Chains A and B, each alone.
Chain A
């Protein structure tokens, strides 16, 4: 047991860090909360106390619900695809013996590119008369596909770009974990007569699970605040079908300078992200306890 004096000393040592943390997180959060209760357009000197009116309007604002729906779809689709493809690529890497370093380096490339560069590249790929549209026209024989201008396709196109960009992150972390699984475990499985698929199901995936959970947490939180790809590729369009909550908040905060309403949107996003993180951490805790 630690003596009380020692504990106090510990707090004292940690105090500067705690104060800085509180300053850069708690203060802005509190400020945003206060802002969200006002009609606030600072450049015009407008600062009216409106209470919960911003939240009331937000609850009825179809544009907000649309952004929430788009964000949810984007998160589920992109994270699921990234996890499945990432694990598949990691397993493939594990089995590959020649050129493995080259494969890893190639895999890293999309992950290294700045988001805006990725978006610009995909803008050309998705261009109505670009490579992809021409290829699709050649295959199906139909007119050129309007990837970014068709409300039914645009979000899928953005998800695909995001998967291309971040799947390597998942693959590399999983691959690193796979390297840490001792060969004896696999040998024992082979001796017991387990086939390839059975081995993956009984050994690889359970051992990967903690890493996968962490990766899923990172990716989900990242996807929840997705901004750059859609902002550059589609500007949130067409018909706001790619307008995530982050883009929606940006519009309110920075384009129209409606700080009060924008703050209300940000607060909701903050709560959403916090709740998601808590869910994941609880799941991680349970997984830890089971072992």
Chain B
């Protein structure tokens, strides 16, 4: 957990008071996904029992489960307990019909829009990406803002997330329900082509091809754009005192649902203390603990019951998991350069996806 208001130490001390004889140590890891992933791979592949409970990026759970590094929690984490969390968070923790981690904090892609500008033009928040594009062009054309729709198009995980969201809006995905790669390649190419069109038609500025979350968040926060796709962390920043867009930003669900992000807690398969580790997982994922984390650092709970804002609840309910597969890292790393080639106009979208599929067939030995 980042920052000075880290609620974790207090939570751990409380757990120790409730469980005499147990002391819990937290080990902070670098805040970069790549480095965290490497830390876990090295330690878990070496069967290290140096830690009992792990905080996992949601996309790693199936990979770690398949590698045999984390305990199957299906029996401990029963159906009634699972039902208290958003279904998407449970789906993301599944492999072979078993559940391997407990949802802890949650993120979801959402649409920020400038309420003042949309009202001026008599628009309601867009329900589809075409509508979003039309509105962005009108608002831009009127000279109200420099840019229309900002998103993350740099060659990295964020680009995969954004393109997935476009694919979902068109009713397709990178992996089909049966695990087939690009089950509807034509529709997937259309989704990718739409992102390219956003740039060529002036819906989105060229800078999105180098933009990550922070670049796009700052541009929108400076009042230079009408729409932004980002995670919920921007809300507090846009409404902070001194923000140029304070009181003028509202949120809406993304047309096809936003990507699910966040972290789960899992138990190291090599732990000598599985029972105590499970107690800790249960303690940290309780409603009270999740609420305290939300209040302190703005990471959202994975339990619908803890949401007060109906608008936010609706957006979180619409969250969709990225392809749930042990091979997600390979999938994403292979897609990233190809998606980037498509949105920058270097390759036609259909060929970019075809090239990615070709590589994946070899790397996944299909």
Contact = CB atoms under 8 A, between A and B. Distances in A.
Contact of B362 (A44, A57, A256): A57
B67 A44 contact: yes
A146 B209 contact: yes
B156 A149 contact: no
A222 to B, nearest CB: 23
Nearest to B157: A235
Nearest to A46: B365
Interface in A49-90: 57, 61-63
A255 B344 contact: no
A267 interface: no
A2 interface: no
A151 interface: yes
Given A254-B38, A256-B363, A258-B330, A240 B155 contact: yes
A255 B337 contact: no
B209 to A, nearest CB: 4
Given A151-B346, A237-B154, A239-B344, A146 B206 contact: yes
Contacts, number: 115
Given A44-B66, A239-B155, A256-B333, A261 B363 contact: yes
A232 B84 CA distance: 40
B306 interface: no
A39 B69 CA distance: 21
Contacts of B153: 149, 238
A155 to B, nearest CB: 13
Interface string B327-366: 0011001101100110111110000000100010011010
Contacts of B362: 57, 61, 261
A150 B219 contact: no
A237 B363 contact: no
Contacts of B154: 149, 234-235, 237-238
B259 to A, nearest CB: 18
B340 A128 contact: no
Contacts of A146: 206-207, 209-210
Contact of A128 (B155, B156, B211, B347): B211
Contacts of A236: 155, 336-337
B341 A239 contact: yes
Given A146-B207, A235-B156, A243-B337, A128 B355 contact: no
B276 interface: no
Nearest to B210: A149
A150 B207 CA distance: 8
Contact of A238 (B209, B334, B365): B209
Nearest to A48: B365
Contacts of B213: none
B332 to A, nearest CB: 8
A43 interface: yes
A127 B154 CA distance: 12
Interface in A176-234: 234
Q: How large is the interface on B (under 10, 10 to 19, 20 to 34, 35 or more residues)?
A: 35 or more
B95 to A, nearest CB: 12
A144 interface: yes
Contacts of A39: 365
A132 interface: no
Nearest to A260: B363
A255 B67 contact: no
B45 interface: yes
A65 to B, nearest CB: 12
Contacts of B274: none
A255 B209 contact: no
A149 B211 contact: yes
A194 B88 CA distance: 80
Contacts of A261: 362-363
B333 A238 contact: no
A251 interface: yes
Nearest to A243: B337
A61 B38 CA distance: 26
Contacts of B346: 151, 238-239, 241
5 contacts: A128-B206, A237-B210, A238-B155, A239-B337, A243-B337
Minimum-distance CB pairs A-B, first 9: A237-B155, A149-B210, A128-B207, A149-B209, A240-B337, A239-B341, A256-B330, A239-B346, A43-B67
Interface of B: 34, 37-38, 41, 45, 63, 66-69, 153-156, 205-211, 215, 219, 326, 329-330, 333-334, 336-337, 340-341, 343-347, 355, 359, 362-363, 365
Given A44-B326, A149-B344, A235-B156, 17 more contacts: A39-B365, A43-B45, A61-B359, A128-B207, A128-B211, A128-B215, A146-B207, A234-B155, A235-B155, A235-B336, A236-B155, A237-B337, A254-B34, A255-B34, A255-B37, A255-B333, A257-B329
